[in-house]
Amino acid sequence: MRARLTASRERIIDAALGILAEHGYAGCSVAAVAARAEVATGSVYRHFPTKADLFAEVFRTASRREVDAVTRAAAAEDTAAARVRAVIETFAGRALRAPRLAYALLAEPVDPAVEAQRLVFRRAHATLLAGYIADGVAGGELPPQNPELTSTAVVGALAEAMVGPLAAGVAGPDTVDGLITFIHRALGVPS
């Protein structure tokens, strides 16, 4: 009973994610989400007070997924340089494999209320990176720097370099390699 409730809540979030990944935020009317989740429009409001609340959660879910993947990849490495490389490869690889979703998470125009979640998403990546960078600095692997600032700049560089290719649908492996070089240099990884 309570299970059915939870299940349809899940289904709504999944449906929203699905539409987001296929047609972007623009395709995400409440009616469309409800239809895909096989519930009535009004039922969405039994679970979420507001469309913005629904999508805040959707963005949170999607973000967590992305950040988890990146975190997992980085955890397998043991130097700051390798971790940063893993972050870039994972982030870019996933973005290129699911371009529409990546574009929605990174750059597509959304409600201001949802925009806030996007900042959280970017910030989560930055915070993760900041940790690795701080470790690298502390361990002498990287030169002194403000990890808050440099991690933010890295996330910006990554996102910007992705959005173009995402739109164009193209993306050579050169792009990823180029980014790794760029970011390693930026952080002062010794060559």
Nearest of 95, 85, 72 to residue 170 by alpha carbon: 95
Residue 41's binding partner out of DNA, its own copies, none, with CB under 5 to 8 Å set by partner kind:
DNA
d(CA 161, CA 87): 14
Residue type, 35: A
Angle between helices 2-23 and 51-75 (to 10 degrees): 80
Rounded to a whole number of angstroms, the minimum distance from the CB of residue 182 to DNA is: 38
Rounded to a whole number of angstroms, the minimum distance from the CB of residue 19 to its own copies is: 16
- Judged by CB, which is closer to DNA: 5, or 167? 5
Site for its own copies contains 27 (CB under 8 A): no
Task: Rule CB under 7 A: choose which of 30, 80, 106, 134 binds DNA.
Answer: 30
CB 41 within 8 A of CB 34: yes
- Judged by CB, which is closer to its own copies: 139, or 164? 164
- Judged by CB, which is closer to its own copies: 57, or 108? 108
Q: In the range 159-178, which residues lie near its own copies by CB under 8 A?
A: 159-161, 163-164, 167, 174-175, 178
* Extended strands (E) in 24-145: none
Rounded to a whole number of angstroms, the minimum distance from the CB of residue 169 to DNA is: 24
Residue 45's binding partner out of its own copies, DNA, none, with CB under 5 to 8 Å set by partner kind:
DNA
d(CA 107, CA 24): 11
Nearest of 98, 116, 109, 113 to residue 17 by alpha carbon: 98
Site for DNA contains 51 (CB under 7 A): yes
d(CA 78, CA 165): 30
CB 9 within 8 A of CB 47: yes
- Tell the residue number behind the tokens 């994610």, with chain if given: 17
Rounded to a whole number of angstroms, the minimum distance from the CB of residue 93 to DNA is: 31
Question: Which residue ranges make up the site for its own copies (CB under 8 A)?
Answer: 26, 109-112, 115, 119, 122, 145-146, 149-150, 152-161, 163-164, 167, 174-175, 178-179, 181-183, 185-188
Footprint of DNA on this chain (CB under 7 A)?
1, 4-5, 8, 28-31, 38-43, 45-46, 50-52
